[in-house]
Amino acid sequence: MYAQRRHVYFAMMGICLTLFVLGGAVVRLWSVPLAVGMCVVAMVIPPLAAIVANRRGPEDRWWDDPSGDPGSDEWWDELDGRKRRR
């Protein structure tokens, strides 16, 4: 899932850069309001890309990362079904 999130992030940032460059270099020659609109859309994309890249999937382990206490970690792993009971 990490690779998929990374690909989506880079695609969104590529779209952002494309909109910004095209709006500033090409579209402004024909329509300044459209170029400004493209730059505004490009401004909104980076925060959304960061949210997409940093979200966690259901299989990602983040709520019970190892705490350093072997007893507690073993208990959590048993609850998650990651280790068999002895």
Domain boundaries, the chain: 2-55, 59-86
Note the pLDDT tens digit of each residue in 33-66: 999 999 999 999 999 999 998 887 766 666 656 6
pLDDT of residue 10: 96
pLDDT of residue 5: 87
Structure tokens belonging to residue 40: 């505004």
- Using CA of residue 55, residue 61, residue 64, residue 68, what is the dihedral sign? negative
28 Cβ partners below 8 Å, 6+ apart? 35
Residues 71-77, mean pLDDT to the nearest whole number = 79
Full-model pTM: 0.66
The span from the CA of 82 to the CA of 26, in Å, is 55
